Amino acid sequence: MAGHLFVVRGDLLRLACDAWLLPTDKALHVTDGWWHDAALAERLRARGAAQKWRSRPWAKVFTGGRRAVPLDAAPGPRPYLTQIGASGEGADWYVSGVVEFIDAALADGPVRWLARQRPLLALPVVGTGWGGAGHVAGAILDHLVPQLAHQAATRDIDLVLVCREAAHFAAAQATRRQLQSSGAFDLWHGLDAATRAQAELLAKDALQHHLVLFLGAGVSMGAGLPSWRKLLDELARAAGLSEADLQAFESVDLLDRAQLIAERLRRSDGAPGVGQHIRTLLERHRHHGLAHALLACLPVEETITTNYDTLFELASAGAGHESVRVLPYAPTRNGTRWLLKMHGCVEHPEDIVLTREDYMRYVERNAALAGIVQAMLITKRMLFVGFSFSDDNFLRIVDAVRRAVRGWGNQAPEPEQLGYALMPNAHPLLRTLWEKDLPWICPAGPNAEMPDGARSVEIFLDLLTHLAASHGHLMDSRFDEVLSPPERRLRDALFQLVDGADAYRDAPEWRAVEVLLTQLGLRR
């Protein structure tokens, strides 16, 4: 697969990437929103950036006609100060600044912070905040999205356009839809027809609220977190085990390794427990992955995970879901989004499920949580992402579901499958084991290696979020440029409906119409 353009709704400050565009103007003024992160604010002050607008000569950082320079050489995602703020400039001027950012990042390497197959560069919808072009955001997207697709394809890099507003996200997806239908680009050329059809089925399930997500460790590994095996290695070192002990561990089952590590930590006077150690190891990761962002953009209300970290919650907040309830710690009965943490959370280290003993006692301690998972498997279709299907607790739960819905005999009618497994590799033997329950989706094909496979999963999720995106830009005048002729006619007809609302506002059905109009971007 060549380079790819991703589109997400989120917080650019929280996305794990190699480099990202930080908008400024020629006076090195950086607007308020970027100063909310204390660490970034300190770096901006050290560079001489100002939070309040000030009049001064061309900033010394922009010399030789450059519009994009790295903020500093600190580790982590590298911000590039890029001159975007202006007034009276056309869309091409803003887009040319983006190209200069890409040029500068690639000229510097870029410094690879992520273990991805290709560099990942991220940027906001430039010029639409305080950059002077917010009133013509559609024109910006109409020029920006094709240029980003071209840059990704020709320079073999991955780009991610991070939209802060729901309307920007909807309009960016509409722009990609038009670009795809024009034939100028095949934005998902690496996915075959069968895989695209699977994405369409999943998008339909999501839009009809039939889909539930199940996230495994592979999702968080994309943000730099360790696999379960590597996490145990880090815990073993924290417990004082030698390299010889670690080598001996290779012949020991993972659950027994965890049990031995926990016992060693308990014997250390004054040492924190294994849950607290896990919290210390995982809380240093403050950026969520691209897969987290894509999954958080889906119209899915229920998510289950075996992960301890809080990165999906972070991505969900960036995608506009501030009120995600984490079960069992924040029960909900009001229909808001929820995330069930089967094995505990770093914010509650005493509840973390890790050892052989924890797994043996799981059903006794967490029967209610297992029941929620069983109910989701029976009543909805579950999309598994980053999950290896080796977790003992999950296998017990699935076995109970199989027995409940299929009966004990061979004469029971064959039920619907339980969901879908989105996998980076074909795993033919594992696939055979699960084929009665879960259709296998492997976007990279049967012979994929892990780096190819993990990236192909991200591209599949990007197509899925694209197909399931809302149309919240239709009645927003800022996005006129991205509307097709039929969409403009529909918008005009809807505005006529709104203009005549006094004649039927008292009808009880008008409330439902108002909800729809708001979902389509009507701004009051």
Tens of pLDDT, residues 371-426: 999 999 999 999 999 998 888 888 888 888 877 776 655 455 555 688 899 999 88
C-alpha angle 99/101/105, rounded to 5°?
A: 120
User: Are 129 and 123 in contact, with CB atoms under 8 Å apart?
Assistant: no
Q: What is the pLDDT of residues 71-104, one digit of tens each?
A: 998 888 999 999 997 777 889 999 999 999 999 9
Q: How far apart are CA 421 and CA 214, in angstroms?
A: 9
Who's near 42: CB < 8 A, 6+ residues apart? none
Weakest mean pLDDT among 235-249, 297-311, 341-355, 404-418: 404-418
Q: How far apart are CA 214 and CA 303, in angstroms?
A: 6
User: Are 261 and 277 in contact, with CB atoms under 8 Å apart?
Assistant: no
What angle do helix axes 166-182 and 137-155 make, rounded to 10 degrees? 60
**CA 60 remoteness from chain centre:** 36
User: Are 184 and 31 in contact, with CB atoms under 8 Å apart?
Assistant: no
Task: List % helix, strand, coil for the chain (3-state, nearest 5).
Answer: 45, 10, 40
Who's near 78: CB < 8 A, 6+ residues apart? 18, 19, 20, 70, 71, 105, 108, 110, 111, 113
Element containing residue 415 per DSSP (H, E):
none
Q: Higher model confidence: residue 15 or residue 390? A: 15
Return the pLDDT at 450. Answer: 55
At 242, is the secondary structure helix, strand, or coil?
A: coil
Written as one string, the DSSP assignment of 367-410 is HHHHHHHHHHHHHSEEEEES--S--HHHHHHHHHHHHHHH-SST
Weakest mean pLDDT among 37-51, 158-172, 287-301, 440-454: 440-454
| pLDDT at residue 113 tops 80 | no
Q: What is the mean pLDDT of the chain?
A: 88
Return the pLDDT at 93. Answer: 92
| pLDDT at residue 53 tops 90 | no
Percent of the chain past pLDDT 90, that is, above it, reads 55
Return the pLDDT at 415. Answer: 56
Q: Which CATH number fits domain 199-222+285-442: 3.40.50, 1.10.10, 2.40.128, 3.30.200?
A: 3.40.50
Give the count of alpha carbons within 13 A of 168, CB side only. Answer: 26
Average pLDDT estimate for 145-161: 96
DSSP label at 428?
H
User: What CATH class does 5-191 carry?
Assistant: alpha beta
Return the pLDDT at 51. Answer: 82
| pLDDT at residue 55 tops 70 | no
Q: What is the pLDDT of residues 324-363, one digit of tens each?
A: 899 999 887 776 899 999 999 999 999 999 998 988 888 8
Written as one string, the DSSP assignment of 508-521 is TTHHHHHHHHHHTT
| pLDDT at residue 27 tops 80 | yes
Confidence of residue 309 (pLDDT cuts 50, 70, 90): very high
Average pLDDT estimate for 283-295: 94
| pLDDT at residue 244 tops 70 | yes
How far, in Å, are 226, 247, 252, 503, 512 from residue 241 at the CA level? 19, 10, 14, 78, 63
Q: Which residues pair with 83 in a beta bridge?
A: 24
Return the pLDDT at 4. Answer: 96
